[in-house]
Structure 1
Amino acid sequence: MYQTKIATLAAGEVSYFEAGKGSPLLVLHTSGGPLWTPLLEKLAGERRVIMPVLPGFGGTAMLGGVASVVDLADLAADFIRTVVGAPQVDVFGASFGGRVALYLAARHPDLVTDLVLEAPAGVAVGAHPAAQDPQAARTGLFAYPEKAAHLSPTPDIADGNRAAFRAYGGPVLVDDELVALLPTIRTQVLTIMGTLDRVTLVEAGQHIAAAMPNGRVTYVYDAAHGVQVDQADAMFRVVRHFLDKGSAFIVASREYA
C-alpha cells in the first residue's frame, strides 16, 4: 500500500502517493483524482510508483500560478527534479493525466524516458465533436463499474475534482497546441486504449501512433475508458512489457493483451 507524503515545490506544497522500490515511475492521474488502482498496486511490486496529487484534486487546494494543463506539466517537471531524484523517469498518464504527460514530454524531453498513455485526452484528431456523447463521458468510464466501487471518492472530494477539472479547461476533444507538439516528442510512447471506450475516441490512439516518431498504440479487450480498472491484469502485462523493452516492444503474444 502507498504512503502519503508532502513535497515543497516552487509553486507550493504538493501531496503525493508513493509505494514500492526500484526504478521510478511517475503517475499522472485522471480528472477523477488520485485513485490507487489495482494496476498501480501491481506496478509497485516492481517499481517505485510516485503519484503527485495535482493541485485542486483529491481534496487539495489550487496553487497560485498553476492554472492550465501546461502549468501542470511544468509542475510535474519540478516534481521530478525535486522529489524523484533521478535524471529521467518513465511516466504513466491516464486520460486527463495523459494530456499533462504529453505536455511534459514535449516541454521537458530531458526528464522523460518512456511514456505510457491510457486513453489520453485532447488528441482525438479527425473526430467530429458530436461523436463524443456527454452521457457516455459520465456513465461509460468502466465496462465493469463494480470493480471501481471501492475506489470512488466521497461526494465532497468528487465535487472538488470536477471543479479543478473545469478550472484547468475541462474536457477537450482536440487540444490544437498539444497536437502541434506531438511530432516533436521523440521518446518511446505507448498508447493503450480499451476496445469499449466511448469517452476517448479511437482516433486518439491512432493519431498519436501516426504523429509521433516513436509512437505505438495497442488495445485491451473488454475494457472501457478506465482500462486499468476494467482489466488490471492485462494492462499490467502490457505496461510492464513496454517499460522493460522500450524500443524493442511489440505485442506479439496474447499474453500481453
Structure 2
Amino acid sequence: MSENPEIGKRIRTGTFETNYHDQGEGSPVMLIHGSGPGVTAWANWRLVIPKLAEHFRVVAPDMVGFGYTERPEGWDYNMDSWVRHALDFMDALELPQVDLVGNSYGGALALALTARHPERVRRLILMGSVGVPFQITPELDAVWGYTPSVENMGEMMRTFAYDTSLLSEELARMRYEASIRPGVQEAYAAMFPAPRQRWVDAMVTPEEQIRAIRQHTLMVHGRDDRVIPLETSLKLHQLIERSQLHVFGQCGHWTQIEHNARFCKLATDFFLERDA
C-alpha cells in the first residue's frame, strides 16, 4: 500500500490504467476533479470523499492527463477523449449509472457526459463549472499557463481561495512537487497552450444539448470565485429545466474546501432525494 494518499486503486480503462479512489457502499457517486496544475482526485476531493462515503459508494478517478493515471503516448487531450475515458472507467467498474459531481473543468466534462449519454447519469452536481461560453478570466489564464515554481503555485492558490488563511507555504510546496513529477508538466502544457480562450470554447456543450438535459441538476458556485465567473452557473441554471442553484458567499473557487460541511450536506441531501 502506498504511503501517498493520492495513489489509490488501479484499473484498466481502454488502453491504459487509471488511478482512482473507491470508498463506501451503496448507490454510486462519481467525482470529477478540476484542472489546476498538479491536481489529483484526492487533492480535489479529500475532504468530500469520506463524508459522502457515509451514505454512498464514492469513486473518484484521476482523469487522463492528470494525477497518477497513465499518460498514453501521443494522447489527444480533448472533451471527446475525456468523455470516452469517463465511460471506460464506469464500464470497468461495472457502473451502468452514477450520480455525478464535476468541479470546474470536471464540471464541463460532467455536463458533456450527461448531455451525450443521459442514460449513464441519474443526478448531476456542477461546481464552479465550465461548459458554457464566457470570456476567460486572467486568473484562469494564469492557472492554465502555470510554469512550475513554489512562488507561482502559491500565487495561483491565492486566486482559488477567498479565505487565504487556508493556505500555507507547506501546501504550496506540496502542490508544486506534485506539478513537477515526471511527465506532469509536459502533459499539462500540452493541454492548454496559449491563446487559451480556445480551450474555454472547446469545453462548451451546445446550448440545445444543455436544454435537453432532464436530470435533476444542482449548480454550486462561490460568489467570490475569481477563476470561473458566477455567470456560468447562472446561465446553466437558466438552461437546465430541472435545476437549482446554491451560491456561497465568502467563497472562491474552492467550495468543497472552504464550505466543506455545507457542501457535503447539500450534495448528500440532493442525492438522497427521490426523483419526482
2:82 aligned partner: 72
Question: Which residue, 23, 27, 30 being the options, matches 1:23?
Answer: 27
Q: Is structure 2 residue 225 aligned with structure 1 residue 197? A: yes
From the superposition, tell whether residues 151 and 242 of structure 1 become closer, same or farther in structure 2 (CA, over 3 Å): farther
Unaligned residue ranges in structure 1 (runs of 5+): 249-257
Matches of residues 23-172 of structure 1 in structure 2 within 5 Å?
Answer: 23-32=27-36, 33-34=39-40, 35=43, 36-63=45-72, 65-83=75-93, 85-123=94-132, 125=133, 127-129=134-136, 132-134=137-139, 138=156, 139-147=158-166, 149=168, 153-159=174-180, 163-169=186-192, 172=199
- C-alpha distance after superposition, 1:171-214 (max 9, x if no partner): 64444751333122221111100121111111111110111232
Which residue type is aligned with residue 86 of structure 2?
A
Aligned partners of 1:186 and 1:212 also within 8 Å:
yes
Partner of 1:134: helix, strand, or coil?
helix
Pairing partner for 1:216 from 233, 244, 254 = 244
* Deviations 1:55-111, CA, capped at 9 Å, x for gaps: 22114442255521221112101111211x332110111011111111111121111
**TM-score for the superposition, normalised by structure 1:** 0.83
**Matched pairs, number:** 243
Structure-2 separation of matches of 1:225 and 1:78: 29
State the 4+ residue runs in structure 1 displaced beyond 6 angstroms: none
> Using a 3 Å threshold, how does the CA distance of structure 1 residues 106 and 161 change in structure 2: closer, same or farther?
farther
The residue type paired with residue 9 of structure 1 is T
- With over 3 angstroms needed to count, the CA separation of the structure-2 counterparts of 1:168 and 1:189, relative to structure 1, is farther
In the alignment, is the contact (CA less than 8 A) between 1:114 and 1:246 conserved in 2? no
Aligned to 1:245: 273
Per-residue CA deviations over 1:203-235 (Å, capped at 9, x if unaligned) read: 111110111232321112221111001010111
Measure, in 2, the Cα distance between the counterparts of 1:230 and 1:193.
11
Change (3 A) 1:94 1:141: same
Q: CA deviation at 1:239?
A: 1.0
Please tell me the residue identity of whatever aligns with 1:40.
I
With normalisation by structure 2, the TM-score equals 0.77
- 1:99–1:128 distance in 2 versus 1, CA, 3 Å: closer
**Deviation, structure 1 residue 163:** 4.6
Q: CA RMSD in A?
A: 2.7
Q: Is the Cα–Cα contact under 8 Å of residues 139 and 159 in structure 2 kept in the other structure?
A: no
CA shift at 1:115, angstroms?
Answer: 0.6
Which runs of no fewer than 5 residues in structure 2 stay unpaired?
A: 144-155
